[in-house]
């Protein structure tokens, strides 16, 4: 089955860190750019970060640049989002998506990150 | 950043009726425009890409049109499962989304 499965979300204090993971299955993972998209509670969608097929090129939204790092391990069919220096406004459901900076036909179920003291 | 503006914010439609949703870009995005459907507690579902191409498995009652700055999603005859929030997304450059249109039962 073609799917993406996120993990790693949780409650973290302001200034804290988490590593989100997205495990892919059912397709040739190393052939696709992958992305993270987030959605604050009751709000719209924000494209956060994209990584190329090889991992050699990465892109970030200005709102997270310098704080978040995207990476991938093609041997494990998994990619990651390291989120540091978290702020209250980073509270959101984080979705992984099979897409470069384009339309996303496959999404994970989402993992909730809550930043609160 | 390209700003995407959707209208209306809420659309009240009776089952079986046609729904027309609009999306406007702050600058031309050519046809680099997608539409998504999202239901509560679920991830977005891709409906349309390239402004008018239906994604795999999307029923023919969904259609997209437009180019440049003005785009439309039309649902020809609303079914019960179509009541949801719809987002447009441009991917001409760094992807950005509209704020969404809630399609509710009239």
Q: What are phi and psi of B18, to 5 degrees?
A: -90, 140
Average pLDDT over every residue of B39-61 = 97
**Is residue B33 pLDDT above 90, yes or no?**
yes
Q: What are the DSSP calls for B17-69, one per residue?
A: S-EEEEEEESS--TT-EEEEEE-TTS--EEEEETTTEEPTT--TTEEEEEETT
Contacts of A108 in chain B (CB under 8 A): 43
Write the CA distances from B50 to A34, B47, B64, integer angstroms: 19, 11, 9
> What percentage of residues in chain A have a pLDDT greater than 90?
97
pLDDT at A101: 85
Contact (Cβ atoms closer than 8 angstroms) between residue A93 and residue A38: yes
| Chain A residues interacting with chain B (CB cutoff of 8 angstroms) | 44-47, 59, 61, 95, 101-105, 107-110
Rg (CA), chain A: 13
Q: From CA A55, how far away is CA A62, in angstroms rounded?
A: 20
3-state secondary structure of A95: strand
- Mean pLDDT (whole number) for B3-27: 97
Confidence at residue B50, expressed as pLDDT on a 0 to 100 scale: 97
Contacts of A86 (CB under 8 A, 6+ apart): A12, A13, A14, A15, A16, A17, A18, A67, A113, A115
Question: What is the DSSP code (8-state) at residue A26?
Answer: S
**Given B36, B87, B91, which is nearest A102 (Cβ)?**
B91
A36 to chain B: nearest residue by CA? B95
pLDDT category of residue A100 using cuts at 50, 70 and 90: confident
What is the per-residue pLDDT for A65? 98
Q: Give A23's pLDDT tier (boundaries 50, 70, 90).
A: very high
Peptide bond into B8 cis (omega under 30): yes
Under an 8 A CB cutoff, do B44 and A46 touch?
A: no
- Maximum pairwise Cα distance, chain B: 37
Query: d(Cα A49, Cα A100) in Å, to the nearest integer?
Result: 9
How many Cα atoms are found within 13 Å in the side-chain-facing hemisphere of B105? 6
Rg (CA), chain B: 13
Q: Find chain A residues with C-beta within 8 A of B47's C-beta.
A: none
Residue A98: closest CA among B97, B93, B46: B46
Are A49 and A70 in contact, with CB atoms under 8 Å apart? Answer: yes
């Amino acid at each position: 089955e073609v799917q993406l499965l996120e993990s790693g979300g949780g409650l973290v204090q302001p200034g804290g860190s988490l590593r989100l993971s997205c495990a892919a299955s059912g397709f040739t993972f190393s052939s696709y750019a992958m992305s993270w998209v987030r959605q604050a509670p009751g709000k719209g969608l924000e494209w956060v970060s994209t990584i190329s097929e090889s991992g050699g090129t990465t892109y970030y939204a200005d709102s997270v640049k310098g704080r978040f790092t995207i990476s991938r391990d093609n041997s494990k069919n998994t990619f990651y989002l390291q989120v540091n220096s978290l702020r209250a406004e980073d509270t959101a459901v984080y979705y992984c998506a099979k897409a470069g900076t384009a339309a996303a036909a496959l999404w994970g179920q989402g993992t909730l990150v809550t930043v609160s003291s | 950043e390209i700003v995407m503006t959707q209208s209306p914010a809420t659309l009240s439609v009776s089952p079986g009726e046609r729904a027309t949703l609009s999306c406007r870009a702050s600058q031309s995005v050519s046809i680099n425009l997608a539409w998504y459907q999202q239901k509560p507690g679920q991830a977005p579902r891709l409906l349309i890409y390239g402004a008018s191409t239906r994604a795999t498995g999307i029923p023919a009652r969904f259609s997209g049109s437009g180019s440049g700055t003005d785009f439309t999603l039309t649902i020809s005859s609303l079914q019960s499962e179509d009541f949801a929030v719809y987002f447009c997304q441009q991917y001409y450059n760094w992807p950005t989304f509209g704020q969404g249109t809630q399609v509710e039962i009239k």
